[in-house]
Amino acid sequence: MSVNSERVKLHCNLCLGTRWHSILYSTTRSHTEPLDEGFEYEESTVYNVAECDGCESLTMHTSWRTSGQSGSIEEQWPPKISRRQPKWMFDLFLSEALDNTFKHEFIQEIYSSLKANNRRLAVLGVRALLEQVMLEHIKDQGSFEKNLAEFEASGFISRVQREAIRPVVEAGHASMHRGFKATAQQIDAILDVTENIIESIYVAKLRTANLKVPPRKL
């Protein structure tokens, strides 16, 4: 065990990028087993607790390696993220009935997939979320494309939003049937579109419900 002031560059989930960190605590755990013909198998893990020099958030970092391994396996807890959940998540929760919180839960599960770097699951989750949002407002038309057309015709999204959703749907199909794995940048674009639609339908209405505008004077 050691306590030192070593500084290293690590990923910070609050700053959303690589930042200087101070190592507050470090310890190593090793395990050795004898093998045949006098050889030994050894594995060791270095544990570091680091503090971001900017926002002062704490993270745990491990570096694990075994005999014969060319490099080490690096892990971080909490897991690395490149995008935070929307600030309006609590407002979304308030907009839902207690027995029907699927949108809030769906978004949390999508972000959990991203934390584990399961980008295909995240894209599939987004497609499923969009379909559930549509079916909450319109009668099922039998296909995603027909539901999307009816969703626009009913005034819940604009023509521009509908066209923006198309690549999201295609990404979902490709992930399901062709093994497509979106990049971090593509995930950002997919979530930008999805969250914009959910915010405009549910959250904006809640925020403006008590907005008092003085009447026009005649």
Q: Tell me the per-residue pLDDT of 33-60, one tens digit each, with 9 for 90 and over.
A: 887 777 788 889 999 999 999 999 999 9
In a domain, 218, yes or no: no
Split into its structural domains, the chain has a count of 2
In a domain, 114, yes or no: yes
**44 and 106 fall within a common domain:** no
In a domain, 97, yes or no: yes
**163 and 70 fall within a common domain:** no
Q: Which residue has the tokens 């999805």?
A: 194
Distance in angstroms (rounded) separating the CA atoms of residues 73 and 83: 23
Q: Is the pLDDT of residue 1 over 50?
A: no
The whole-number average pLDDT for the span 3-32 is: 87
In a domain, 16, yes or no: yes
Helical packing angle, 144-153 and 119-135, nearest 10°: 50
Contacts of 39 (CB under 8 A, 6+ apart): none
Whole-number average pLDDT of the chain = 86
* Domain residue limits at 102: 89-208
Contacts of 60 (CB under 8 A, 6+ apart): 47, 48, 49, 50, 76, 77
Distance in angstroms (rounded) separating the CA atoms of residues 8 and 126: 36
Highest mean pLDDT among 65-74, 91-100, 204-213: 65-74
Q: How many residues are listed for the chain in this entry? A: 218
**62 and 128 fall within a common domain:** no
Q: Tell me the per-residue pLDDT of 112-138, one tens digit each, with 9 for 90 and over.
A: 888 888 889 999 999 999 999 999 999
> Which of 77, 108, 139 finishes a domain?
77
The whole-number average pLDDT for the span 54-76 is: 87
Distance in angstroms (rounded) separating the CA atoms of residues 135 and 124: 17
In a domain, 213, yes or no: no
Q: Is the pLDDT of residue 110 over 50?
A: yes
**112 and 185 fall within a common domain:** yes
Contacts of 133 (CB under 8 A, 6+ apart): 103, 197, 198, 201
Strand order from edge to edge, sheet including 73-77: 7-12, 17-34, 40-52, 58-66, 73-77
**151 and 50 fall within a common domain:** no
Cβ 113 vs Cβ 119: under 8 Å: yes
For residue 98, what pLDDT is reported?
A: 64
The whole-number average pLDDT for the span 197-217 is: 79
